[in-house]
Amino acid sequence: MAAGWQQMSPDINRLRLAGRLLLRDWRAGELRILLLALIIAVTATTAISFFTDRLQRAMLSQSSELLGGDLLLQSPRQVDPSWLKEAENGGLEWVETLEFPSVVVSGEHLQLVGAKAVQDGYPLRGVLRIADRPFGEESPVDDIPDEGRVWVEARLLPLLEIDIGDTLELGSLTLSVERVLTFEPGGGGNLASLAPRVLINYADVSRADILRPGSRVTWQYAFAGPELAVERYKKWLGPQLAPSHRLQDVREGRPTVGAALDRAEQYLSLASLVAVLLAGVAIAMGARRYSERHFDVTAVLRCLGAGQRDILALFLPQLLWLGLVGGVIGVVLGYLVQFGLFYLLRELLPTTLPAPGLMPMLMGFLTGITVLAGFALPPVLRLREVPALRVLRRELAPMPVRGWLVYGVAIAAMAFLMWRYTGSASLTLSVLGGAAAALLLLGGLALVLLRVTRALHSGVGVAWRYGLNNLWRRPMLSISQILGFGLTLMAMALIGLVRGDLLSTWQTQLPEDAPNHFVVNVLPDEVEAFRSFMQARGLDSAELYPLVRGRLANINGERLSERLSPDDERAGAVHRELNLTWSDSLPDDNNIIAGSWWQPGEEGEALVSVEAGLAERLGVELGDELTFTFGSGEISAKVVSLRTVQWDSFRPNFFMIFSPGVLDPFPATYMTSFYLPMQEKGELAQMIREFPAVTVIDLDRIMEQVRRILTQVTLAVEYVLVFVLLAGFAVLYAALQASLDERLYEGALLRTLGASRRQLRAGHLAEYALLGALAGLLAAGGAELIAFILYKQVFQLPYSIKWLLWALLPLLGALLIGAAGYWGTRRVVQRSPLVVLNNL
Amino acid sequence: MSNHPEIKTIVSAEGVGKQVATSADSLTILEGISFDIQAGESVAVVGISGSGKSTLLGLLAGLDLPTTGRIHLAGECLNDLDEDGRARLRGAKVGFVFQSFQLLPSLTALENVMLPLELAGVGGAEEQARQLLERVGLQTRLTHYPKQLSGGEQQRVAIARAFAISPAVLFADEPTGNLDALTGSRINELLFELNAEQGTTLILVTHDEKLAERCQRRIRLDGGRVAADES
């Protein structure tokens, strides 16, 4: 009796056999496409993971430079020492600084300043920047003012008519003005600190004897340490905070930077997901071809006695080996690629980048395995079903894998990856939902389109008929290719669309000559003089807006406190005093979305226009009556319009704009913003001398920060797009390869029967151009759908139909896929028919 | 070496029929086929193209199941086995030689012959395979891939592979159909020699009457039925 199947050590035998098959398949070139796609996927994801990981950490560290730490706690009194103990125990450094408004004196001049008292260790993150003379070249320093010294903001000097080296008085102390302060972490960008800043030594506070009970002092505690420790401490601290405490982390610390970071993160993760999805499609196509090319071998193996489990035992290790090899190569390549990326971007990135972590490598590898499992497993599992009878009847193929298995596994894999990448369930669901809906819809649509094009059949020549027949004859293959190409085009369109729109949103927010200075506290009787001052110097300022501080008290007679609970986050803005203004014309970048702006005749009537977002949060509608209280009285006004406002335009923006005249009874000051080129900064001193009461806020630094981040994001986005493109080409390549065997055979037959090369080539061109056009049509629809969902749900931007897509994508598809198909099938006509037929 | 003890009847078909569904209705390929084949017999299944020869071979070898009737192979009823059970039986008892050779293109001649031994978990597979290839005259071609071998050489490798597990039954489907006359007759010689040496039951599908004449028994098919069964 022959040795039984289960005797001996079949496992080792099978493993050896699997290894040998893998090696042979590799040598025969069977695995190259699959491996290539896998490597692209892993390289792309690893590189993107590395890149985004390090960039995100770099961006965060830039934000922490602004904040002066990873976490900033502001408190009206000294905090319980146990809080600081807990921070130390958790591995965090901390430093305490004091912020208080005070008056400095020099000779006859008095000036309100924002003082900050710092001690050794400050700043925990970022550096102080100083200059030797007002508006001079700035440079970083790593020390702080000694006792008896003060560093001051440049605009203080003309106000006090002093210079570097002179003295000023703070409380009972005389301090020597040592340096010009140009940037201080943990305070520089704070719009509320309108007074000029001065920096003193912590020890001088008690000597100056200026802090009394009731003084408005803010204790600031900056914390810094490992990310996890910061997170843990934040969680610990959160529940103990009183309403008077304010805790900021790097994300919330600076609203503009925080929003840019959020968008950048969302964008980069979206782009990397698209690259992964495309690589997945390429892998699915590669795996399908791999599987189909192994039908014969499997049938022979079945014939020779291999059971279904043995077939799996032979092919699954191959997949595993492939995953390991492709994963490792991809991770190494990804690691190298990200270095190149950072090298190219070195001018724009912070000089000290966080070192590459292990996580991205793991992420890339895991992604490779997941994509392989999700997209390659179903076709390979199909091998199990190859009938042994195929050795006699070659046309017998295994039943196609059940749809739910293929798509289920792939979707599960994608969902897992998306969730792992974005950490956002809503982003995952919206992209996945959009993709799933699009796939179903597009698949059906592709079939319909394919049917429709059959009408072309009678009107075309033999070459075209051959090409078009190729499409109709294998509807499933055609549909999957249309979907594959369509998905690629869709991804590219989506990337381009979202990127163009997001960036143009950013760019319009930040034009080159965006206002870089705010001026507040222009007195009413100085308005005209101020205007002429600006005009004389050719400074283009925004409108001068009057500013009245008031509080929203009632809506339709109902007290706000009854309408909203005190900790209702929706109404954060109305718990504070609001900056109220009036205007006879709508600010340029505001848009009315409901109601209408007042006409000249309506002046005097108490009307108010409300920012749309606030109106929604408060439940305010057109026609509602809002009552505002001021120190000395109150006013009611009817809501006649709702406006959108560009908060990050660096222009004066208001929640509430009144019709002219309404606020006349209340004292107002005026504010505006303007652009001043760097080399004309000297004008500021002149301005302060002529209008001593005004406060100038220099936004350049904040804007520089924002602009730098945006530039980095733009570049990052473009690099990510390269990977998406690479993955797209992998799909194209895999799809061409998938049908190449059959084409070679048919081409050889047709040529044997007398078809000319030209006819064959025309046929291929027709087929692929039509395929590309159909794919482009589908891509336009898909991109439109997903973009709509993304804009509405994720980015919260307005959306309009992109008609250009519908013209451009089919054309692009026809050109791109037509050319690629023409090129990819050249072997079909170049090889001698005899060679092809003999090789079968 | 006698791996298969005294089973008198090694293959039997009882009222075997095969229908396949077509788009319109069902097509009958085989109908009412019954015969027994004794161990050690050499049988040619002959008939014109489309008479159902290859289908019958597939059924007898357990590559497919009949629509009606029962088939026994090496003491087991194929109808009672699932596909994996039939695969196990094939792996242990059955050898195949095909018209199109069916060598694994990614394996060398030696590895192709080792394959069934490895699948069956037999030790010393390489040595055994080497001897078999020597026996079919390919000792100098061990490390060649199928593509590098001529048709006749490929079929020799296939024959060596078929005899590797010392099968109880050897099924051959037009073994010389793809070869020229001279090469074909040499392959036939080899096939019958090895068959005699190993005492294997040989079931051969062919439309080559001369080849059929060399078998002890000829089952002639016509329109899916046994038209003659002559010894």
Q: Quick: pLDDT tens for A402-440.
A: 666 666 777 777 777 777 766 677 777 777 777 677 677
Task: Round the average pLDDT of chain A to a whole number and report it.
Answer: 77
For residue A310, what is the nearest residue in chain B, using CA coordinates? B119
Best probe of the A interface among B106, B148, B166, by most A CBs < 10 A, is B106
Residue whose pair of structure tokens reads 């019954």 in the numeric block? B34
Residue B3 pLDDT: 47
Assign B217 a pLDDT band (cuts: 50, 70, 90). Answer: very high
Q: Which has the minimum average pLDDT: A262-276, A521-535, A601-615, A819-833?
A: A262-276
Best probe of the A interface among B10, B78, B102, by most A CBs < 10 A, is B102
For residue A343, the distance in angstroms to the closest alpha carbon of chain B comes to 44
Cα A37 to Cα A376: distance, rounded to the nearest angstrom: 11
Cα angle for residues A526, A532, A538 (degrees, 5° grid): 135
Q: Are A676 and A697 in contact (CB under 8 A)?
A: no
Q: What is the pTM of this model?
A: 0.64
Contact list in B for residue A388 (CB cut-off 8 A) is: 62-64, 83, 86-87, 90
Residue A142 pLDDT: 86
Least CB–CB distance from B84: residue in A16, A301, A308: A308
Contact list in A for residue B120 (CB cut-off 8 A) is: 2-5, 305
Please confirm whether the linkage preceding A398 is cis (ω < 30° from 0): no
Best probe of the B interface among A385, A392, A396, A399, by most B CBs < 10 A, is A392
Residue A254 pLDDT: 45
Cα A173 to Cα A453: distance, rounded to the nearest angstrom: 89
For residue A4, what is the nearest residue in chain B, using CA coordinates? B120
Q: Are A267 and A499 in contact (CB under 8 A)?
A: yes
Is pLDDT at A554 greater than 90 in this prediction?
Answer: no
Here the ipTM equals 0.86
Cα A449 to Cα A440: distance, rounded to the nearest angstrom: 14
Specify the higher pLDDT residue, B193 or A741.
B193
For residue A481, the Cα-to-chain-centroid distance in whole angstroms is: 30
DSSP string, A3-59: PPTTSS-HHHHHHHHHHHHHHHHHHTTSSHHHHHHHHHHHHHHHHHHHHHHHHHHHH
Nearest Cα to Cα of residue A390 among A475, A292, A477, A313 = A292
Contact list in B for residue A24 (CB cut-off 8 A) is: 106-107
Strands A149-153 and A173-183, how do they pair? parallel
Contact list in A for residue B104 (CB cut-off 8 A) is: 297, 300
DSSP string, A536-570: HTT--BPPPEEEEEEEEEEETTEEHHHHS-TT-GG
Is pLDDT at A44 greater than 70 in this prediction?
Answer: yes
Q: Which has the minimum average pLDDT: A101-110, A617-626, A816-825?
A: A101-110
Contact list in A for residue B91 (CB cut-off 8 A) is: 5, 304-306
Residue A722: partners with Cβ closer than 8 Å, 6 or more residues away = none
Q: Which helix (H) or strand (E) holds B133?
A: helix B125-135
pLDDT tens per residue, range A573-621: 565 667 888 888 888 878 888 888 888 776 667 889 998 888 887 888 8
Residue A207 pLDDT: 81
For residue A306, what is the nearest residue in chain B, using CA coordinates? B87
Specify the higher pLDDT residue, A795 or A757.
A757
Q: Which residues numbered 9-28 in B keep a CB inside 8 Å of some CB on A?
A: none
Q: Are A694 and A688 in contact (CB under 8 A)?
A: yes
Whether the CB of A26 is below 8 Å from some CB of chain B: the reply is no
Please indicate whether, in this complex, the C-beta atoms of A13 and B116 are within 8 angstroms of each other.
no
Residue whose pair of structure tokens reads 């009206």 in the numeric block? A76
DSSP string, A213-275: TT---EEEEEEE--HHHHHHHHHHHGGG--TT-EEEETTTSSHHHHHHHHHHHHHHHHHHHHH
Mean pLDDT confidence for A455-472: 72
For residue A408, the distance in angstroms to the closest alpha carbon of chain B comes to 27
Residue A5 pLDDT: 40
Is pLDDT at A12 greater than 90 in this prediction?
Answer: no
Contact list in B for residue A26 (CB cut-off 8 A) is: none
Residue A253 pLDDT: 47
Contact list in A for residue B7 (CB cut-off 8 A) is: none
Residue A192 pLDDT: 38
Assign A273 a pLDDT band (cuts: 50, 70, 90). Answer: confident
Whether the CB of A308 is below 8 Å from some CB of chain B: the reply is yes
For residue A33, the distance in angstroms to the closest alpha carbon of chain B comes to 17
Q: Which residues numbered 162-191 in B keep a CB inside 8 Å of some CB on A?
A: 165-167, 173
Is pLDDT at A6 greater than 50 in this prediction?
Answer: no
For residue A299, the distance in angstroms to the closest alpha carbon of chain B comes to 9
Nearest Cα to Cα of residue A607 among A596, A618, A617, A591 = A596
Q: Which residues numbered 86-125 in B keep a CB inside 8 Å of some CB on A?
A: 86-94, 96, 98, 102-107, 111, 115-116, 118-123
Q: Which helix (H) or strand (E) holds B140?
A: none
For residue A274, the distance in angstroms to the closest alpha carbon of chain B comes to 36
N-term to C-term CA, chain B: 27
Residue A2 pLDDT: 40
Cα B218 to Cα B231: distance, rounded to the nearest angstrom: 6
Contact list in B for residue A13 (CB cut-off 8 A) is: 118-119, 121
For residue B120, what is the nearest residue in chain A, using CA coordinates? A5
Whether the CB of A622 is below 8 Å from some CB of chain B: the reply is no
Residue A172 buriedness (CB in 10 A; 0-12 / 13-18 / 19+): exposed
Rounded percentage of chain B residues whose pLDDT exceeds 90: 42
Mean pLDDT confidence for B192-216: 89
Mean pLDDT confidence for A709-719: 63
Cα B231 to Cα B228: distance, rounded to the nearest angstrom: 10
Please compute Rg for chain A using Cα positions: 34
For residue B185, the distance in angstroms to the closest alpha carbon of chain A comes to 22
Please indicate whether, in this complex, the C-beta atoms of B98 and A28 are within 8 angstroms of each other.
no
Q: Which helix (H) or strand (E) holds B12?
A: strand B9-21
pLDDT tens per residue, range A132-172: 887 777 788 888 898 889 999 887 888 888 888 899 988 78
Nearest Cα to Cα of residue A322 among A707, A31, A607 = A31
Please indicate whether, in this complex, the C-beta atoms of A2 and B166 are within 8 angstroms of each other.
yes
Assign A261 a pLDDT band (cuts: 50, 70, 90). Answer: low
Is pLDDT at B169 greater than 90 in this prediction?
Answer: yes
Contact list in B for residue A383 (CB cut-off 8 A) is: none
For residue B227, the distance in angstroms to the closest alpha carbon of chain A comes to 23
Contact list in A for residue B123 (CB cut-off 8 A) is: 8
pLDDT tens per residue, range A225-253: 888 888 889 889 888 887 677 787 776 64
Task: Round the average pLDDT of chain B to a whole number and report it.
Answer: 88
Q: Which has the minimum average pLDDT: A210-224, A527-541, A809-823?
A: A210-224
Please indicate whether, in this complex, the C-beta atoms of A387 and B122 are within 8 angstroms of each other.
no
Structure-token pair, residue A299: 């049938």
For residue B61, what is the nearest residue in chain A, using CA coordinates? A303
